[in-house]
Amino acid sequence: MNTEPERKFGVVVVGVGRAGSVRMRDLRNPHPSSAFLNLIGFVSRRELGSIDGVQQISLEDALSSQEVEVAYICSESSSHEDYIRQFLNAGKHVLVEYPMTLSLVAAQALWELAAQKGKVLHEEHVELLMEEFAFLKKEVVGKDLLKGSLLFTAGPLEEERFGFPAFSGISRLTWLVSLFGELSLVSATLEERKEDQYMKMTVCLETEKKSPLTWIEEKGPGLKRNRYLSFHFKSGSLENVPNVGINKNIFLKDQNIFVQKLLGQFSEKELAAEKKRILHCLGLAEEIQKYCCSGK
């Protein structure tokens, strides 16, 4: 991306919460990938007028404007599918924060639509750009896993807006799949105390070599955002990640990847492998949801 851009892609940011605000900041700062992008405006259900000199525009204008070629979907997860479909149908490239949809079949349909329209559809996965993940990837390479577990704790999250815990927590599942390959579901349980805003999802998975992996998402008032992991290998074990430094500009790194896709710098093979992983994780998340909701 060292070349000078021949032209800039006009961008609109949909949803200006935490992720949307970071995206707007990155787009307005002089980064190599931002040089290929031109922030035209943002879309929000709230009447905000403008943010730091960036104008609010209506969804209709964003969809119909010739200037807008790219949409960043940073709204709550339950609205992603609808926004992606509208922007792809309007002939725009789409970057969406994970999870792109709350069902596998919807994701498959949207990918087909993107291919049909000849547009880039990119699902953000900043968790794969974290220092901790880079450390883990190095640690597990070439090792035989015997068993492992990953526990994530955080404050309460509204399921109506962010989806079932297997979807809202799909970045943890993505870590496990990226480290150990495709997984299959053995069983899953969901313990909920709605009046206390507490929930705990426990998922038993196994690798293709039948090694067990346990994934737990626990959310409730007073629970700090934390990740605990334990992987046991034939050659020793790994308990939690040491402090490997802060994650600098992970959303910007994700934007760099997206711009490389816009410029056609990713091979078909790389894109197919990424799509396969994303659909595998969404399929697992849906399977987990069905398992928990069937009251097995």
User: Among 69, 81, 123, 124, which one carries the catalytic annotation?
Assistant: 124
User: Among 123, 172, 217, 286, which one carries the catalytic annotation?
Assistant: 172
Residues 54 and 93 reside in one and the same domain: yes
**Is residue 104 situated within a structural domain?**
yes
Backbone torsion region of residue 236, taken as left when φ is above 0, otherwise alpha when ψ lies between -120 and 50, otherwise beta: left
Residues 184 and 106 reside in one and the same domain: no
168 belongs to the catalytic site: no
**Is residue 264 situated within a structural domain?**
no
**Is residue 183 situated within a structural domain?**
yes
As for how many domains the chain has, the answer is: 2
The answer to whether 8 touches 37, Cβ cutoff 8 Å, is yes
- Amino acid at the residue 26: D
**Is residue 254 situated within a structural domain?**
no
223 burial level (CB within 10 Å; 0-12, 13-18, 19+): middle
Residues 98 and 133 reside in one and the same domain: no
- Amino acid at the residue 108: Q
Q: What are the residues whose beta carbons fall under 8 Å from the beta carbon of 155, sequence distance 6 or more?
A: 219, 220, 221, 222, 223, 225
**Is residue 268 situated within a structural domain?**
no
Residues 49 and 169 reside in one and the same domain: no
Among 103, 124, 145, give the residue marking a domain's end: 124
- For the chain, the C-alpha Rg in angstroms (whole number) is 20
Strands 50-51 and 121-123: unpaired
**Is residue 255 situated within a structural domain?**
no
**Spatial separation of the C-alpha atoms in residues 187 and 36, rounded to whole Å:** 46
**Is residue 160 situated within a structural domain?**
yes
97 belongs to the catalytic site: yes
Q: What is the CATH number of the domain that holds 224?
A: 3.30.360.10
Among 109, 124, 139, give the residue marking a domain's end: 124
Residues 119 and 137 reside in one and the same domain: no
Q: What is the CATH number of the domain that holds 101?
A: 3.40.50.720
172 belongs to the catalytic site: yes
Which segments of 33-109 are extended strands (E)?
37-43, 50-51, 54-55, 68-73, 93-96
Of 167, 150, 267, give the one whose Cα is nearest residue 213. 150
Q: In what order do the strands lie in the sheet with 93-96?
A: 37-43, 9-14, 68-73, 93-96, 121-123
Residues 224 and 291 reside in one and the same domain: yes
Task: Tell whether residue 204 is among the known ligand binding residues.
Answer: no
Of 41, 48, 44, give the one whose Cα is nearest residue 27. 41
pLDDT at 1: 55
Residues 24 and 85 reside in one and the same domain: yes
Among 73, 93, 124, give the residue marking a domain's end: 124
Q: Which two tokens stand for residue 221?
A: 């008032």
**Is residue 102 situated within a structural domain?**
yes
Q: What are the residues whose beta carbons fall under 8 Å from the beta carbon of 71, sequence distance 6 or more?
A: 11, 12, 13, 14, 62, 83, 87, 92, 93, 94, 95
Residues 57 and 134 reside in one and the same domain: no
Task: Tell whether residue 25 is among the known ligand binding residues.
Answer: no
Task: Tell whether residue 53 is among the known ligand binding residues.
Answer: no
* pTM across the whole model: 0.94
pLDDT at 296: 47
Residues 178 and 290 reside in one and the same domain: yes
Task: Tell whether residue 77 is among the known ligand binding residues.
Answer: yes
Across the 296 residues of the chain, what is the mean pLDDT of every consecutive 10-residue run? Answer: 72 96 93 93 94 95 98 97 98 97 97 98 96 94 96 92 94 97 98 94 98 97 94 94 82 96 95 97 98 80
From the CB of residue 33, how many other CB atoms can be counted at a distance below 10 Å? 21
**Spatial separation of the C-alpha atoms in residues 95 and 84, rounded to whole Å:** 9
Provide the residue range defining the domain that includes 135: 128-245+283-295
How far is CA 280 from its chain centroid? 13
127 belongs to the catalytic site: yes
Task: Tell whether residue 225 is among the known ligand binding residues.
Answer: no
User: Among 171, 211, 277, 291, which one carries the catalytic annotation?
Assistant: 171
Task: Tell whether residue 7 is among the known ligand binding residues.
Answer: no
Residues 77 and 215 reside in one and the same domain: no
pLDDT at 3: 58
Q: Which two tokens stand for residue 55?
A: 């104008």
Residues 117 and 154 reside in one and the same domain: no
User: Among 23, 34, 72, 98, which one carries the catalytic annotation?
Assistant: 98
User: Among 81, 97, 123, 286, which one carries the catalytic annotation?
Assistant: 97
Residues 290 and 164 reside in one and the same domain: yes
Task: Tell whether residue 45 is among the known ligand binding residues.
Answer: yes
User: Among 127, 132, 217, 286, which one carries the catalytic annotation?
Assistant: 127
